[in-house]
Amino acid sequence: MPPKRIVGTVTLALLGLAAMGDRSRASADEATYEIRKSAGNATAGVASNVSVTVVGKNGWHVNGEAPFTATVKADLGVDLPKAKLTRADLAESTKQSARFDIPFSAVAPGKKTITAQTRFVMCQEEACKPASETVAFEVDVQAAAAARPAAAKAKGGGKKATAKPATKSVSTATP
């Protein structure tokens, strides 16, 4: 074989090995899970919750036997009934995903932050690996409904009676 042809063959072989190395590195870097979070409306003094869900990706699934926890912290003025949630507290658990609903209530309106440090294990046929994610929720807590009519009455100079509809809704709600 002429020298140029040998060099060309060796170069192609090396490029093929490099491409295979890139492919294996890409699969090692593929995400094993996705974190989804949701926060509904929150009202001061009313129980609410935020949710964090772990969803398996690229052939990985949530290990159904390994510990699954969420350590929760919040701003001052936010009550957390439980600071640590465990697998028994999961709101939903399947092979593909697991979800914590994190209960809280805020004393006063305003922007509040709740953080959850989750720890779990993701698996595929050949291997399992532990994972940890910190999820932050920015919750805009609204004033309680009872405070709104009083504020509206004060703002309107007493011209509009806002307490009357509230009384009607209370009387119709009772049997």
Average pLDDT score over residue span 134-149? 82
* Cβ–Cβ < 8 Å for 100, 85: yes
Q: Could you tell me whether strands 78-79 and 84-85 are parallel, antiparallel, or unpaired per DSSP bridges?
A: unpaired
pLDDT bin (cut points 50, 70, 90) of residue 24 is very low
Q: What are phi and psi of 92, to 5 degrees?
A: -150, 140
| Residue range 118-141, pLDDT digits in tens | 999 999 989 999 999 999 999 999
Output 175 or 99, whichever has higher pLDDT: 99
pLDDT bin (cut points 50, 70, 90) of residue 170 is very low
pLDDT bin (cut points 50, 70, 90) of residue 8 is very low
CATH fold of 31-145, please? Immunoglobulin-like (2.60.40)
Q: pTM for this one?
A: 0.66
DSSP per residue, 25-79:
HHHHHS-SEEEEEEE--EETTS-EEEEEEEEE-TT-EE-SSS--EEEEEE-TTEE
Instruction: Say what the pLDDT of residue 122 is.
Output: 97
| pLDDT for 112 beyond 50 | yes
Residue ranges of domains in the chain: 1-30, 31-145
| Residue range 73-85, pLDDT digits in tens | 999 999 999 999 9
